[in-house]
Amino acid sequence: MHTAPDQFNGGTRAVVPQILRRRHRGTAPIYRFKIARQSGLSDSALVLLTLQKRRSKLIREKETRMQTTTAPAFRKTAETFAAGAKTLEQKYFISSEIFAQEQEKIFSKKWVLVGHQSQVAKPGDYFVQEVAGESLIALRDKDGRVRSFYNVCRHRGTRLREGRNGHLSAIQCPYHAWTYGLDGRLIGAPHMDDVEGFDKADYSLHAVNLALWEGFIFVNLADGCLLEKVFAPLSGRFSHCYLPKLRSAKRIEYDVRANWKLIFENYSECYHCPGVHPALSKLTPYDSAENDLCEGPFLGGFMRIAKGNSLTMTGNSCALPVGDIKGEGHNRVFYYSIFPNMLLSMHPDYVMVHQLWPKSPERTLIFCDWFFHPEAFDRTDFHPDDAIEFWDMTNRQDWHVCELSQQGIASRAYRPGPYSPRESIPAAWDREYLRHVE
């Protein structure tokens, strides 16, 4: 970085009378010269004075620009609408070939959400999750590190863990009892010492790339980019919320007869809210959305809570705040879609997370978790059901219209329809999706 030497400025300040700098700040340069001459300054001091003023002005302008670009700029939904945007073609919702391409190009290549670190709180805790047709084990090892492995024995390929979650001190294959440590190393293989050249070190479990973002566990089946690089646009954006510390009070699984993209499109707009969600619309005005992420893999912003303190059945807060919530943050719900399988909804008193798992072109499994402040759980003012019941009702209303959409889109009469300006975010989500599959 190039800056003028400090002694240069210091020297200038030394020859310019204080009174001149203060009184004539707003005058034009030539006029300032005249005034300065009258004050008896030399020509070189006048040149230095002008240069210093220009430099100060440039610094002020740069600082203003930086403030504008670093502070989140929220824009009303309709302001970012790309005129002419239409819904996706039918093939993207019903074609098995496209579904296979999505699994290959998206779910096998991108960072995909599989859980939260609170699900593996202690060493030995594990859960199993299928990603792009592959069964994976995620666990916390003895050193406290969260790891993931293919759920495949290195002997004859047997599935190692059938259960969905639990606790292990080692991973033992149910077939011939080969045993792996929590770090994936093969530590026991009965009678294999009789095999010439056999070395246990050659048969560790196959590891999967895993990384944590704000306490959420992501895996990547490819040797792609670092997660920190991909998630850089989100860096520090949610630090007001203690996401890594939160704990889920409840998970509900939904088996939805609709394409996974319809779930994203539905989540990304509230054009449907007055008709589909009468209770939600009473608490949060459907046209109050303002977005700070309007293009790319991360999309969303906030909506206002206009009535009550939270989105719950009673309208009351149901738990301790989930973070350092200040001022108008108490009246905002932040909704973000994180490509390709996470929906992150941050309320003042709880965080709801949807994990999407496409099962076929017309079927999606959805895990919905409700996270709360860890200290909220033991308090008498903790009423998680107030939030869970509210969103379970709202979720089901959404899934129902998504299923109706799926049915209609499968018709020979379906043609892509025009998005409204209130659907700028689903249109942006479609554009991002097409960038990955085309």
Task: Tell whether residue 158 is a contact of ligand FES (CB under 6 A).
Answer: yes
Name every residue whose Cβ is closer than 8 Å to that of residue 183 and which is 6 or more positions away in sequence.
Answer: 141, 142, 143, 147
Q: Which of 129, 105, 110, 131 is nearest to 211 (CA)?
A: 110
423 lines the binding site for Fe ion (CB under 5 A): no
Q: In the bound complex, what is the minimum distance in angstroms from residue 273's beta carbon to Fe ion? A: 6
Three-state secondary structure of 373-403: CHHHCCCCCCCHHHHHHHHHHHHHHHHHHHH
Task: Using CB under 6 A, pick the residue from 24, 75, 155, 240 that binds ligand FES.
Answer: 155
Nearest Cα to Cα of residue 391 among 322, 328, 333: 333
173 vs 230 by CB, closer to ligand FES: 173
Q: Which does 398 bind (CB under 5 to 8 A by kind): ligand FES, Fe ion, none?
A: Fe ion
Q: How far apart (Å, rounded) are the C-alpha atoms in residues 119 and 190?
A: 32
214, 349, 362, 398: which one binds Fe ion (CB under 5 A): 398
CB of 425 to ligand FES, least distance (A): 47
| Interface segment toward ligand FES; rule CB under 6 A; list 38-46, 169-177, 339-347, 402-410 | 169-177
* Position among 85, 131, 153, 243 found at the interface with ligand FES (CB under 6 A): 153
Shorter beta-carbon distance to Fe ion: residue 276 or 325: 276
Which of Fe ion, ligand FES, none has residue 173 at its interface (CB below 5 to 8 Å by kind)?
ligand FES
By the rule CB under 6 A, 150 interacts with ligand FES: no
* Secondary structure of 155-210 as H, E, C letters: CCCCECCCCCEEECCCEECCCCCCEECCCCCEEECCCHHHCCCCCHHHCCCCECEE
Using the CB atoms, write b or e for 298-313: b if 16+ within 10 Å: bbbbbbbbeeebbbbb
**Contact string (CB under 6 A) for ligand FES, positions 171-210, x = contact:** --x-xxxx--------------------------------
Handedness of CA 401, 406, 411, 417 (dihedral sign): positive
Between 205 and 217, CB nearer to ligand FES: 205
**Which of the listed partners (Fe ion, ligand FES, none) does 200 bind, with a CB threshold of 5 to 8 Å by partner kind?**
none
**Size (the chain), residues:** 438
Nearer to ligand FES, 175 or 377 (CB): 175
* Residue pair 358/364 in contact by the 8 Å Cβ criterion: yes
**Torsion angle in degrees (nearest 10) through CA of 370, 375, 378, 383:** -40
Question: Using CB under 6 A as the criterion, what x/- string covers residues 252-281 for binding ligand FES?
Answer: ------------------------------
**Is the CB of 126 or the CB of 335 nearer to Fe ion?**
335
* Residue 404, contacted partner among Fe ion, ligand FES, none, CB below 5-8 A by kind: none
CA Rg value for the chain: 29
Comparing CA positions, the residue from 90, 86, 82, 99 lying closest to residue 405 is 90
Q: How far is the CB of 393 from Fe ion (least distance, A)?
A: 11
- Torsion sign (Cα): 113, 118, 122, 125: negative
The residues that touch ligand FES, with contacts defined as CB under 6 A, are 153, 155-156, 158, 173, 175-178
